[in-house]
Amino acid sequence: MWFRLSFIMLTVALQTSFPGNNPDTIRQRYGKPLSESFLVRPDVVVSAIYGPSGNTCELAITPKQSDVIFTMPGSSTMDDKILAEITEELAPKSERGKFITSEFLNIICLPDNNCVGTRESWENLSIYRNSGETGTRYEIIRWKRSECGEKIWTQPH
């Protein structure tokens, strides 16, 4: 009897001692997440990074590579029409503010030299779109809020 009771208590203790078992235990232990990822289309993921107040600072729109967290960006591309729909859902033109400028970027990023793209600057945010030979690899939407800082990403993290 004591053996069974000890085994049951040990099993319960082990199940509750690992905070990574589910999102609730992670949040209870560490607080609100700094970032999250969402499946917005069957093959497209949006990763959100939040500022201290909880407002979104950055959204990285990428193709769903696999179920593995750490994959190399740029190995697949997205359809531009679908990407435009997602961008409009996440950052509608009515909320971007006044359009400021658009520019083509041809930056050398070693080792793959994969930083060619465009950037649109709006009053409230900027949108960087990284393009490859076969289409758009990823897009970064970054809000111009003081809590978000001045960092402009060219690679998803």
Q: What is the pTM of this model?
A: 0.74
Ordered DSSP codes for 59-125: EEEEE---S-S---TTSS-B-HHHHHHHHHHHS-HHHH-SEEEEEEEEE--TTTT-EEEEEEEESSE
pLDDT at 17: 55
Listed by start position, the domains of the chain span: 1-31, 33-148
Judge whether 115 and 107 are in contact, CB under 8 Å: yes
**CA dist., res. 155 & res. 75, Å (int):** 13
Q: What is the pLDDT of residues 33-75, one digit of tens each?
A: 888 899 999 999 999 999 988 899 999 999 987 555 444 555 6
Which residues does residue 125 pair with via DSSP β-bridges, in sequence order? 143
**Residue 7: which pLDDT band, with cuts at 50, 70 and 90?**
low
Q: What is the pLDDT of residues 106-144, one digit of tens each?
A: 766 666 656 678 899 999 999 999 887 677 889 999 999
